[in-house]
C-alpha cells in the first residue's frame, strides 16, 4: 500500500486522483491498502508559504491582501490545491478563515498528463478492439472536462454557495460560507472548519457523538441533496467530511458536484421506495 501510494504520488496529479478514488473502495483493494492510500486525499507535499502569499496577492490585489493579518503554514495539501488558515480583517472585524490555493502550473501539468492518457486510451482501443466497449477515450475526455472545471475555484465557490443556500435550514449539516472578495480563479476563501475528520471515529466518539446517528444523518443529508434539491456533493470521501462538536457534518471541497433533473429525481425516489419496501 505504501509503495503504491508513493508510486502514484511520483507519477503526478492524474494518478493521485486515481489513488484517491481507490482509497474509497476498500471492498475492491482491501482495508490495508485503502488506509495507506488515504494519505493521497489531504496529506501530500505542500509548496512554500512565500509562494502562497505571492499567488494570493496577485489574485486579489495588494489592497485586499493587506487585510490578511496572518497566514498559517499549509494545513492540508491535496493533488490540485492546498489549504492555509488565515486571519482576515473584514468590515473592521477579524475573521478566522481558510484559504484554498491552486498549485502553481497545475493547469498545464494536469492537461499534459490527461493528453498522454488520452493517447494511451486511443492506442488501447485501436489495438485491442474488444476494449472499445469500455469507451476509454470517452472516459478520459469526461475526466479532462471535470478536472478543468475543478481547477477554476470560482465554480467551486458558486457550488458551495448554492449548497449552503439549499441546506441552511437543515439539521445536521453546516456548509461553510464563501467570502467572494477574497476568492478568484486560483484562490478560494471560506469559513475555517472547527471539527474532526470523519475518518477519526475514536476522536468522534470521545466527543460523545453517536456514530450510528451520524451515519444515518450522512445518508439523509445526501438523499435530501439528491432527491429534494437535485444538487449534491459528488465527492464525499473521508478527506472532504468533518464533524463539529455538535455532531453536524461539515463538507468541504465542492469541486465535483452533481445535478439531477426532476424526472431523474422521481426515478431515484421510486427506486429507493421500492427497495425499502422490498417491492423489487
Residues labelled catalytic: 235
How long a stretch of residues is the chain? 280
Question: Is the torsion defined by CA of 99, 248, 197, 93 positive or negative?
Answer: positive
Which of 36, 44, 38 minimizes the C-alpha distance to 82?
Answer: 44
Element (H, E) at 249: strand 249-251
Grid cell of 171 as nine digits: 439539521
Within 8 A by CB and 6+ apart from 77, the residues are 42, 43, 44, 45, 46, 83
Dist. CA 55–CA 276, nearest whole Å: 50
Tell me, rounded to whole angstroms, the distance of Cα 71 from its chain centroid: 22
> Around Cβ 160, how many Cβ atoms within 10 Å?
26
Greatest CA span in the chain, whole angstroms? 65
Order of all β-strands in the sheet with 249-251: 196-197, 241-243, 249-251
Find how far residue 244's CA is from the centre of its chain.
Answer: 18
Strand intervals (E) in 179-234: 187-191, 196-197, 231-233
Amino acid at each position: 500500500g505504501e509503495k503504491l501510494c508513493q508510486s502514484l504520488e511520483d507519477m503526478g496529479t492524474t494518478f493521485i486522483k486515481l489513488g484517491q478514488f481507490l482509497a474509497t473502495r476498500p471492498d475492491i483493494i482491501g482495508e490495508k491498502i485503502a488506509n495507506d492510500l488515504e494519505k493521497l486525499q489531504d496529506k501530500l507535499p505542500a509548496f512554500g508559504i512565500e509562494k502562497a502569499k505571492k499567488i494570493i496577492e496577485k489574485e486579489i490585489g495588494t489592497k485586499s491582501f493587506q487585510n490578511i493579518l496572518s497566514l498559517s503554514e499549509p494545513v492540508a495539501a491535496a493533488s490540485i490545491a492546498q489549504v492555509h488558515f488565515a486571519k482576515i480583517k473584514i468590515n473592521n472585524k477579524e475573521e478566522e478563515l481558510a484559504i484554498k490555493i491552486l498549485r502553481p502550473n497545475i493547469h498545464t501539468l494536469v492537461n499534459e498528463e490527461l493528453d498522454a492518457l488520452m493517447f494511451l486510451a486511443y492506442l488501447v482501443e485501436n489495438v485491442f478492439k474488444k476494449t472499445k466497449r469500455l469507451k476509454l477515450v470517452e472516459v478520459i475526455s469526461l475526466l479532462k472536462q471535470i478536472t478543468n472545471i475543478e481547477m477554476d475555484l470560482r465554480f467551486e465557490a458558486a457550488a458551495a454557495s448554492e449548497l449552503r443556500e439549499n441546506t441552511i435550514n437543515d439539521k445536521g449539516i453546516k456548509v461553510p460560507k464563501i467570502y467572494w472578495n477574497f476568492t478568484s480563479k486560483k484562490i478560494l476563501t471560506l469559513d475555517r472548519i472547527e471539527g474532526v475528520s470523519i475518518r477519526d471515529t475514536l476522536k468522534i466518539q470521545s466527543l460523545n457523538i453517536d456514530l450510528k446517528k451520524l451515519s444515518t444523518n450522512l445518508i439523509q443529508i445526501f438523499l435530501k441533496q439528491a432527491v429534494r434539491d437535485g444538487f449534491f456533493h459528488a465527492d464525499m470521501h473521508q478527506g472532504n467530511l468533518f464533524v463539529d462538536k455538535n455532531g453536524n457534518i461539515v463538507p468541504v471541497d465542492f469541486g465535483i458536484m452533481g445535478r439531477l433533473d426532476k424526472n431523474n429525481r422521481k426515478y431515484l425516489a421510486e427506486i429507493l421506495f421500492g427497495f425499502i419496501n422490498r417491492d423489487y
